[in-house]
Amino acid sequence: MNPTPVGADVLVGVLALQGDFREHEHALAACGAATRRVRTVEDLEGIDALVVPGGESTTMSNLALRWGLMEPLRALVRGGLPAYGSCAGMIMLADRIEGGRPDQETIGGLDVTVLRNAFGRQVDSFEADIAMLAFGAEPVHTVFIRAPWVEQAGPGVEVLGTVPTGPAAGRIIAVRQGRLLATSFHPELTGDARIHRYFLEMVREQA
């Protein structure tokens, strides 16, 4: 038997200004979704969902502003377009950021305050297996690279994952608010498609 892949008939726009958009394309393709690189306003036409990759949120913000994408992206997200952001993408989807550059803007939509580079210099990058039941019983192998965490989340925000142990214990690393999903870590780098599958199920619910 060959069940219909969760991403069938879904066109995901992947913001491709900067960062690891190719890895997101691969993860989405593994779930059967079609993808389109978003670099211009025209690229937004007809997409069913948006993915904002990991990378450098200050650069992404600059490029989105320079290329006239910021306002159209805000309008689409405000209008109900499902969106998923990993790491820098989480920052881009946050309504409020701490530790941002003064001129840094975000698409917003998620009622959270995100702290950039939250895990500190000594532990810039690390990996851990963390249970997050929303994505299944198996723990998720998480990769953090100069990652943010969610410092504060509004009442409509569902916390899907927190750091279980260590100095960052209890810190929020995965959230959902309606049709918006964000993770501090990078499932696009580990070959575990469960988070992308979860997102595509959200997109289906929305359709």
Annotated catalytic residues are 87, 186, 188
Cβ-based nearer residue to ligand GLN, 87 or 173: 87
- Of 12 and 52, which has the nearer Cβ to ligand GLN? 52
Torsion of CA 41, 79, 74, 145, to 10 degrees: -100
Q: How far is the CB of 164 from ligand GLN (least distance, A)?
A: 21
Contacts of 133 (CB under 8 A, 6+ apart): none
Q: How far is the CB of 102 from ligand GLN (least distance, A)?
A: 14
Give the integer Cα–Cα distance in Å for 27 and 20: 11
Min dist CB 56 to ligand GLN, Å, is 5
Are the CB atoms for 107 and 52 separated by under 8 Å?
Answer: yes
Question: Measured between alpha carbons, how far is 64 from 74 in angstroms, rounded to an integer?
Answer: 11
Residues near ligand GLN, by CB under 6 A: 54-57, 87-88, 91, 116-117, 145-146
Q: Which is nearer to ligand GLN, 56 or 111 (CB)?
A: 56
What are 145's strand-pairing partners? 125
- Residue 32, sorted as left (phi over 0), alpha (psi -120 to 50) or beta, turns out to be left
In this structure, are residues 19 and 53 in contact, taking their beta carbons and an 8 Å threshold?
A: yes
What is the nearest approach in angstroms of ligand GLN to the Cβ of residue 185?
9
How far is the C-alpha of 92 from the C-alpha of 102, rounded, in Å? 14
141 φ, ψ (degrees, to nearest 5): -80, 110
